[in-house]
Structure formats: structure tokens, C-alpha cells
Structure 1
Amino acid sequence: MIRVGILGASGLAGGELIRLVLQHPDLELTFLGGSSSAGRRPAELHPGLRLDLGLTIETLPDSLADRCDVVFLATPAPVSAELAAELADQVPCVIDLSGAFRIRTPDLHDRWYPKVRRAEGLADRFVYGVPELIGDQLAGAALISLPGCFATAITIGLAPLVLSLGLNLRTVVVDGKTGSSGGGLELRTANLHPLRNGAIAPYSPAGHRHGAEVKDFLDRSKPGGVESLSMSAYGVSHVRGLMASSYVFTDDEVDARSLQRAYLRFYKEHPFVRVRRHNETLIPVPDPQAVLGSNYCDVTALHDEEGGRIVVLAALDNMVKGAAGQALQALNIRFGLPVETGLTMQPVMPA
């Protein structure tokens, strides 16, 4: 059994990690870490978890290596940066769900994460990316940084254009909509039910750090590239789920048939990416409600000939494929397990 520790176990992502680790046949939960929640049982903090795990939330001990083979950091980015520096050479594998190490370029990192101070050289030791795109780098990796929820959807949506068709994307404009769980449990007036319910709130209309994260990753990828990527993000009244709509402008020739074939071919061997036809179901897809509770990302690429653009739609559950599920997917690859192990749950619909 692979021994698992979770730091930040009292948060939403921490609770989702606990849920998924418990149903994984090759994992044993051996440590739950937190500061303000130390001494409390997981069932007190996560009402859906009624099992007696024999664990309480603890503060960080002197050494986790004696108790854990892998540690998940479900902590805020500034905290993850500190914890990673402490654990990097102590625990065999550290998987960070925060934004602390996602952006490799120092100046770009400082712009979008000005409060996150990283130990010198530590960011270069992290393997970053969506597991479908960097699986070979995850095998045996000691430090893994997972993409943000929006970044996962956007990158999955754009990767076939850049990495398979080799297109030069002159301009990409991303419209992102996410449920309230994307903001975590921190109390904000704007997230109170009387204000959030039924709202479409433009909380980041003129740029979002997940967009910067995607461009930073694709700029280091070949053969194509992205000249300009901008993003606007909106909060909607759902709890789970997000949709990333990418409007792509390129001077390269492309048509609807070549798009569909490229996406099907690119994700043929990746079970968690479902290439959909927009009109194949009772409701138009991708739609976040068609993936809730699962580790799937649904993606569709449409050719808007009249508008001279490619429309890429990607939907996922931000708590699973956008966070905890993707973390277990990376763990499976890291430890040589079948990628679907513990992640075969189907979507819950209606939810």
C-alpha cells in the first residue's frame, strides 16, 4: 500500500482528496495535516465523511517520511511554497494542488503571485502540467505541481491545436465560468448566498492567473505556439463545475473535419478526456453538469467559418478533474499504477 498524507485536510480540496483516497484500492491514508483545525476529526469538518478513519487533524510533525510515501499539499499557495521547501528532500513525493509552482517564468510568477516567495531553484525541480500531456515526466517524479482548474480545461482544449496540428494561435480569448467551490471556504461578502445565488459575477474580467499559467506552459511546448492569450472569469451560482470557452484566431488553414479528427486522435489513449460532438446528447455538450463527480473533462472544437475562428469548449468538475481527481491521476502515473485506478466513478446527473 502507498501511504498518503494530506496537508490542508480541512479545506474543500482536502476533503475531496480524503474521499477519493478512501476509495482507492492501493492507497492508505496515514496523515491529515492542518493548523487551525488540529485535533478535530475529518467527519466534523466534512459532513459527507461519516467513516471513523482513526485519524485526527495534526500539526506538521518533525518528519513525515516515516508515515507517508506521498504528501498532497491542499494548502494556499504561500503556505505550499513554505511546506514544499521543507518537505522536498524529506518525503519521496510531494504533489502540490496550489499555484505556488505552476508558473515557471520568475517575472510572470511574481506578477500573478506577488505574495508567494519560492526557495531559489525549487520551482525548476517541479514537474508541471496536465497528466495527459506530461505523463512521461510524472513517472518517478519527486515534486509535482498540478494545473489550476481553469488551466486544466483550457490546456486540454488548446493542446491538440498547438501540439498536434502545430497551429500558431495568433489570439486566444478565454471566457471562464465557475461555481462557488472554486473560491474555497474563505469567507467573502460577495460569496454569501443572497449575493451569489443566481449571479453571473465578473470577478476577474480583465485577466486571470490561470490564463497566464496556460500561456507559460504552451510557450515552452512545440511545435505550435500562442502569441496572445487573455482571459475573463465569472462566478456563477453552481457549487461545482466550470466551463472554459476559448475563442481562437489563427492565420493557419483549418476545417471542421480536420479539427474533429485531430482531437479524437490526440486523446484516443486518454480515458479522462471525452471528445464530444456539440449536439450528440439531449443537452448541448460540453456542459459542467454532465461531468460532476467524475474525473472527466469533456471537450469540443468547432469551426466558425463565418467568424474566422475556432471555438473550443471544455467542461470539468473543478473539485475532481480540476483538483483532487487530477492529483490521484498524477499519483497513479508516478507510482506505476493504471491511470484509472480509484477514479472510475461516472458523473452524477442531475446534480
Structure 2
Amino acid sequence: MIRAGVVGASGLAGGDLIRLITQHPDLELTFLGGSSHVGRRPAELHPGLRQDLGLTVEPVTEEVADRVDVLFLATPAPVSADLAALLADRVPAIVDLSGAFRIRTPELHDRWYPKVQRRPDLAERFVYGVPELLGDRLKDAALISLPGCYATALTLGLAPLTLGLGLDLGTVLVDGKSGSSGGGLQLRTSELHALRNGAIAPYSPTGHRHAAEASDFLAREGRGSIASLSMSAYGVSHVRGLLTSTYVFPAGPVDQRELHRAYLRFYKGHRFVRVRRHNETLIPVPDPQAVLGSNYCDVTVLHDPEADRIVVLAALDNLVKGAAGQAVQAANLRFGLPEESGLTMQPVMPA
């Protein structure tokens, strides 16, 4: 068995990590770390977790390296930066779910994460953890930086155009909508049920760091290019799930059938990205409801002939494929396990 630890065990992503690890055939949960809930059991922190794991939350010290083979950091970015500096080269594999090491370019990182001081040498060593796009590099990675939830949807939506077809894209505009769990468990007035329920809150209308992250990654990896990528983000009254609507204005002619075929080819053999036609089910898809509780990302590509634009829609559960599920998926690849191990649950709908 592969020994796994979770730091940030009291958070939403931490709770989903515990849930997934305890159901995994090859992972054994051996450590829970945190600072504000030391001594508490998982069942106290997450009402859905009733199994007695024989673990309580502990402070994180160097000694954790003797108890785990993989350590998941579901912690705020400044905390992850400090823990990575403490434990890199001691723990065989670290999977960081925060934004501490997502943006490689130093100037861009400082702009979007000004309070996160990280070691430059560690930033160069972290592998960006998109299994469908960088699976081969994850197999030997000691340090893995998991993409943000929006960035996961963005990169999976755009990769067939840039990495696959090698297109040079001009202006790319993104509209993102996410449920309240994307903000974690911090108490903010804007997240109170009386204000959030039924609302469409433009909390980041002129830019989002996940768009900067996706742009930084695609600029490093793409055969094609993106001249400009910008995003407006909105909070909606769902708890889980997000949808990105990405608008691309191509330089040349576009054929709808060829676009769809290009996406099918690109994701052939990748079971967690489902390329869909938007009218193939009783409700239009992608819809976050159709992926909740699962590790799937549903992607649809359309051509709008009236405006001569490509529309890419991507939906996922921000706590699973956008966080804990993708973290386990990356760990599976790191340790040579089947990519789908522990992640074969189907979506729950309606939710």
C-alpha cells in the first residue's frame, strides 16, 4: 500500500481527499495535518465521514516524511510554499493543491500571488499536474502543482486547439461560473446564504489568476499560441460545480465537424475528459450537474457562424476534477497505478 497524508484536513478539498483516499484500493491514509483543528477526528470535521480511521489532525513537522509516501497539501498558498520548502527531498512525492507553484513565470506569479514567497528553485521543479496533458512527466515527479479548478477547465478546453491543432489564437475571452465551494470555508459576508442564494455575483469581472495560470502553461507547452486570454468570473448559487464558456475568434475558416473530430482525437483514451455534443441528452451539456461527485470534465466545442467564433464549454466538479480527484489521478500516475484507481465513481444527478 502507498501511504498517503493530507494537510489541510479540515477544508473542503481536504475532506474530499480523505473520502477518496479511504476508498482507494492502493492508498492508505496514514497522516492528517493541520493547525487550527489539532486533535480532532475526520468525522468531527466532515459529517459525511463516519468511518473511524484511527487518526486525528496533527501539526506538520519534518517527521511526517517517515509516515507517508505521498503528501497532499490542501492548504493556502503561503502555507504550501513553506511546507514545500520544509519537506521537498524528504517526502517522495508532494501534490500541492494551492496556487503557490502553478505560475512558473516569476513576474506573473508576483502579480497574482503577491503574498506568496516561494523558493525559486522549487518553482522550477514542480510539474504542472494536468494528467491528460502531462501524464508522462508526472510518472517521475517528486513535486506536483495541481491546476486551479477554472484553469483545469480552461486548459482542457483549449488544449486541442493549441497543443493539438497548433492554432495561433488571437483574443480569447472566458466567462466562468462557479459554486460557493470554490471559495473554501473562509467566512465572508458575500458568501452568506442570504446574499449568495439565487445570486450571480461578479466577484472577478476584469481578470482571474486561474486565467493567468492557464495562459502561462499554454505559452510554455503549446505548439500554437494565444495572443491574449482574459476571464470574467461569477459566483452562482450552486455549492459544487463550475462551467467555463470560452470564446475564440479564429483567423481562418472553421468547420464544425472537423472541430468536433479534433477534440475526439485529442482526448481518445483519456476516460476523464468526455467530449460531448451539446444536444445529445435531455438537457443541454456540458452542465456541472452532469458531473457532480465524479472526476469527469465534460467538454463541448461549437462553431458560431454568425459571429465567426469558436465556443468551448467545459464543466467539472471543482472539488473533484478541480481539486481532490485530479490530485489522486496525478498520484496514481506518479506511482505507476492505473489512472482511474479509486476514481471510477459516476456522477450523482440530480444533486
- Band of TM-score, shorter chain: over 0.9
Counterpart position of 1:294: 294
Report the CA distance between 1:164 and its aligned residue.
1.1
The 2-side partners of 1:158 and 1:233 are apart by 17
RMSD: 0.7
SS in 2 for 1:72: strand
- State the one-letter code of the partner of 1:304: D
- State the one-letter code of the partner of 2:280: E
- State the one-letter code of the partner of 2:286: P
Residue by residue over 1:181-202, the C-alpha shift from the partner in whole angstroms, topping out at 9 and shown as x without a partner, is 0000000000000000000000
Residue by residue over 1:202-234, the C-alpha shift from the partner in whole angstroms, topping out at 9 and shown as x without a partner, is 000000000000100010123111100000000
Counterpart position of 1:196: 196
Counterpart position of 1:323: 323
Counterpart position of 2:342: 342
- State the one-letter code of the partner of 1:299: V
SS in 2 for 1:47: coil
Report the CA distance between 1:242 and its aligned residue.
0.1
- State the one-letter code of the partner of 1:322: G
Q: Is the 8 A contact 2:62 2:86 kept in 1?
A: no
Question: Does 1:81 pair with 2:94?
Answer: no
Counterpart position of 1:333: 333
Residue by residue over 1:116-155, the C-alpha shift from the partner in whole angstroms, topping out at 9 and shown as x without a partner, is 0001311001001411000000002100001000000011
- State the one-letter code of the partner of 1:170: G
Counterpart position of 2:164: 164
The 2-side partners of 1:17 and 1:183 are apart by 17
Counterparts of 1:1-351 in structure 2 under 5 Å? 1-351=1-351
The 2-side partners of 1:222 and 1:40 are apart by 45
SS in 2 for 1:55: coil
With the length of structure 2 as denominator, give the TM-score of the two structures.
0.99
Residue by residue over 1:146-191, the C-alpha shift from the partner in whole angstroms, topping out at 9 and shown as x without a partner, is 1000000011000000011111110110000000000000000000
Report the CA distance between 1:18 and its aligned residue.
0.0
The 2-side partners of 1:249 and 1:117 are apart by 37
Q: Is the 8 A contact 1:168 1:252 kept in 2?
A: no
Runs of 4+ in 1 over 6 A off after TM superposition: none
The number of residue pairs the alignment matches comes to 351
- State the one-letter code of the partner of 1:263: Y
With the length of structure 1 as denominator, give the TM-score of the two structures.
0.99
Q: Is the 8 A contact 1:98 1:146 kept in 2?
A: yes
Report the CA distance between 1:310 and its aligned residue.
0.1
Unmatched 5+ residue regions in structure 1?
none
Report the CA distance between 1:305 and its aligned residue.
1.3
Q: Is the 8 A contact 1:63 1:90 kept in 2?
A: no
The 1-side partners of 2:283 and 2:16 are apart by 28
The 2-side partners of 1:268 and 1:71 are apart by 30
Q: Is the 8 A contact 1:160 1:266 kept in 2?
A: yes
Q: Is the 8 A contact 1:65 1:91 kept in 2?
A: yes
Q: Is the 8 A contact 1:151 1:214 kept in 2?
A: yes
Q: Is the 8 A contact 2:95 2:143 kept in 1?
A: yes
SS in 2 for 1:63: helix
Q: Is the 8 A contact 1:293 1:346 kept in 2?
A: yes
- State the one-letter code of the partner of 1:97: L
Unmatched 5+ residue regions in structure 2?
none
The 1-side partners of 2:127 and 2:242 are apart by 25
Q: Is the 8 A contact 2:129 2:138 kept in 1?
A: no
SS in 2 for 1:122: helix
SS in 1 for 2:65: coil
Residue by residue over 1:18-50, the C-alpha shift from the partner in whole angstroms, topping out at 9 and shown as x without a partner, is 000001000000000000100011100000000
Q: Which moved more, 1:70-79 or 1:246-255?
A: 246-255
Report the CA distance between 1:101 and its aligned residue.
0.2
The 1-side partners of 2:201 and 2:247 are apart by 20
Report the CA distance between 1:254 and its aligned residue.
2.1
Identity %: 77
The 2-side partners of 1:148 and 1:238 are apart by 18
Q: Is the 8 A contact 1:167 1:252 kept in 2?
A: no
- State the one-letter code of the partner of 1:133: L
The 2-side partners of 1:266 and 1:230 are apart by 24
